[in-house]
Structure 1
Amino acid sequence: MTEFPGYPFVSRWFAHSGRAGLRQHYLDEGAGQPVLFLHGNPSWSYLWRRPVLALREEFRCIAPDHIGMGLSDKPGPDRYPYDLAARVDDLDVLTEHLITAGGAPERGWTLVLHDWGGPIGMAWARRHPDRVARLVVLNTAAFPHPRGERVRPLLRLPLRVLRDTRLGARLFLRHNLFARGATWRPLGVRRRMPAAVRSAFLAPYDRPEHRVAIQRFVHDIPLRPRDRSWPELQAAGAALARFADLPVLIAWGLGDPVFDRAVLNEWRRRFPSVVPRLYRGAGHYLLEDAHDDLVPAIRTFLRTSPLPGA
């Protein structure tokens, strides 16, 4: 698609029959061992453009846009539940389609996880542990936040405003502040994002009715046991031990204001044999700030990490 720089891919759509035919957009590039890229909020598959370009000659790169995000359909809250369990169900149905009708193998999947992609991907992995062969973890979590409800003071008030007030709804829906802020320094990136790239990140969220998913992702952040998605997230975290012997790459932008060192240290506690790649000059959108080093590192990791049983 020429309007999105660096994104020369064929768009594909899958219609979810159990979701009244809502169409989910995804990329499916290359052939070989499947690599499943899962984005978070407020990004979309555009985040993965560089690794997909670098890997599609050797691997089958699959990058869905979650419902309401990117180029997927954007239903109102009356047509879609907008919670973690729904996201995992969607991924389950899409991957099953790719296996049964799209020629993808049942096993040998690599998960590449960023932001909400961590909870979604690892909750899916908990359902299908035998399918997962490798993990690439990029500024994400798959467990309750180590700080619990005591998020960093810098984030406490903005998060409360965004989640719980009418002002937050206006900032999300009318002004698109959350998505815009993610493209600014120092909130989402440490390097200035080129104007055309910034426009591409924001393009799917061009009017208020297209920003519902961004708002609902924030509403769905599970900070305490009474939150709706807490059980799903807690179960994903409890299942991480099942994947401790897999090849794992952890790469981290140390300038991330949300996924901070406390979250990184929790990953290190869960996977003590993994030495993370740390990027001091990178923020939350790690692949925008550190792609020159990180994309080759991911390629090398995939080339040199044997699949279990291979």
Structure 2
Amino acid sequence: MTTIHHRYATVRGQRLFYREAGPPAAPAVVLLHGFPTSSFMFRNLIPLLADRFHVIAPDHLGFGLSDAPPVDEFDYTFDALADLTAELLEQLGVSRFALYVHDYGAPLGWRLALADPAAVTAIISQNGNGYETGFTEDFWKPVRAYWQDQTPQTEAAIRQALTLEVTRWQYLHGVPDESLVDPDTWYHDFALLSRPGNDLVQLRLFADYAGNLPLYPKLHTYLRDSGVPLLAVWGRNDEIFRPEGALAFTDDSPRAEICLLDGGHFLLESHLDAAAGTIRSFLERTLT
């Protein structure tokens, strides 16, 4: 069995939880989770990588087992979460690493790469968007309305994303065989979403997500200039970030590898073996 350590570190006065496995001297791979989950989404992937790589998977502040200070005590922005991640990696002595980004983890990863391009050895985007074409219209319509005008009406629409029903939908939509997805996933996420005050944390991040779009041109320039190896492994049936978002990486990274699998947003829950095999092969070719 793979030994996975479950640890905490204090960064800027905040306690961050992270999972760590693999030889410390091996090439590092940093796994950045999305909404509404945590490093829990990587619980099955980590053992499949840790024999060859030093794997680190933090919970973002406000998610999982990390601290979740109320919004009047911490200004929740993607800039702030990226800064905490960067300082955590610095504390751990990880100065060069491959990035695995999913959903919210993508704009955090893009910030890390733009702030220190030389630190990033490779990028794996698993349903982690970096292009306007990746947004699906129906899912993002109420979110865009909330960006434009934060009213009781637009807030009520966006709060649907915090319900058990929509959390379950994110895991099951687009999955041909729903029996492959463990119900513990959405009950686990919903329990943490339901902590007192966490709704306001998530609303603050929904509003701040608009600030991620202006980063895209800078990301595209970085991909063109750096030539960083890139793999997009994507659930082609995702109704949050559609597969065109994966294909778009080749516009700026012509040698990017694109793997579309017959799954949804949380691809690791239904297609772990296929995704992990592709990811591992990519990392072995680019990092070792």
TM range (shorter): 0.7 to 0.9
Per-residue deviation, residues 204-257 of structure 1 (Å, max 9, x unmatched)? 2243423444333322222xxxxx44544543343222332x332221111011
Q: Residues 231 and 169 from structure 1, CA distance in 2 versus in 1: closer, same or farther, beyond 3 angstroms?
A: closer
Alignment of 1:116-135 (within 5 A): 116-135=104-123
> Any gaps of 5 or more consecutive residues in structure 1?
1-5, 223-227
Residue of structure 2 in register with 1:159 after alignment? 143
Counterpart of 2:54 (choices 50, 56, 60) is: 60
Q: Aligned partners of 2:146 and 2:182: how far apart in 1?
A: 27
Residue of structure 1 in register with 2:125 after alignment? 137
1:16 equivalenced with 2:11 (yes/no): yes
Per-residue deviation, residues 179-203 of structure 1 (Å, max 9, x unmatched)? 34323334xx454222233333334
TM-score normalised to the size of structure 1? 0.80
Residue of structure 1 in register with 2:34 after alignment? 40
- The size of the alignment, in residue pairs, is 279
Q: Residues 7 and 194 from structure 1, CA distance in 2 versus in 1: closer, same or farther, beyond 3 angstroms?
A: farther
Shift of 1:156: 4.9
Q: Aligned partners of 2:183 and 2:140: how far apart in 1?
A: 30
Residue of structure 2 in register with 1:219 after alignment? 207
Percent identity among equivalent residues?
27
Shift of 1:67: 0.4
Aligned partner letter, 1:37: L
Counterpart of 1:114 (choices 83, 102, 120) is: 102
Residue of structure 2 in register with 1:282 after alignment? 263
Counterpart of 1:146 (choices 130, 133, 138) is: 133
Contact (CA 8 Å) 1:240, 1:270: kept in 2 or not? Answer: yes
Contact (CA 8 Å) 2:30, 2:57: kept in 1 or not? Answer: yes
Q: Residues 14 and 293 from structure 1, CA distance in 2 versus in 1: closer, same or farther, beyond 3 angstroms?
A: same
Q: Residues 28 and 212 from structure 1, CA distance in 2 versus in 1: closer, same or farther, beyond 3 angstroms?
A: farther
Alignment of 1:253-292 (within 5 A): 253-279=235-261, 281-292=262-273
Per-residue deviation, residues 241-291 of structure 1 (Å, max 9, x unmatched)? 2332x3322211110112113322321212122231111x20111111211
Contact (CA 8 Å) 1:23, 1:73: kept in 2 or not? Answer: yes
Q: Aligned partners of 1:220 and 1:136: how far apart in 2?
A: 24
Contact (CA 8 Å) 1:172, 1:214: kept in 2 or not? Answer: no
Q: Residues 257 and 8 from structure 1, CA distance in 2 versus in 1: closer, same or farther, beyond 3 angstroms?
A: farther
Aligned partner letter, 2:9: F
1:171 equivalenced with 2:160 (yes/no): yes
Residue of structure 2 in register with 1:296 after alignment? 277
Residue of structure 1 in register with 2:229 after alignment? 247
Q: Residues 113 and 231 from structure 1, CA distance in 2 versus in 1: closer, same or farther, beyond 3 angstroms?
A: same
Q: Aligned partners of 1:232 and 1:78: how far apart in 2?
A: 26
Q: Aligned partners of 1:300 and 1:288: how far apart in 2?
A: 19
Contact (CA 8 Å) 1:250, 1:276: kept in 2 or not? Answer: yes
Q: Residues 115 and 157 from structure 1, CA distance in 2 versus in 1: closer, same or farther, beyond 3 angstroms?
A: closer
RMSD over equivalenced CA pairs, Å: 2.7
1:183 equivalenced with 2:171 (yes/no): yes
Aligned partner letter, 2:133: P
Q: Aligned partners of 2:106 and 2:159: how far apart in 1?
A: 28
Shift of 1:86: 0.8
Q: Residues 16 and 215 from structure 1, CA distance in 2 versus in 1: closer, same or farther, beyond 3 angstroms?
A: same
Q: Aligned partners of 1:214 and 1:176: how far apart in 2?
A: 15
TM-score normalised to the size of structure 2? 0.85
> Any gaps of 5 or more consecutive residues in structure 2?
none
Counterpart of 2:187 (choices 196, 199, 214) is: 199
Q: Aligned partners of 1:125 and 1:162: how far apart in 2?
A: 28
Q: Residues 291 and 71 from structure 1, CA distance in 2 versus in 1: closer, same or farther, beyond 3 angstroms?
A: same
Shift of 1:66: 0.6
SS at match of 1:68: coil
Shift of 1:85: 0.9
SS at match of 1:241: helix
Q: Aligned partners of 1:39 and 1:134: how far apart in 2?
A: 17
Q: Residues 157 and 120 from structure 1, CA distance in 2 versus in 1: closer, same or farther, beyond 3 angstroms?
A: closer
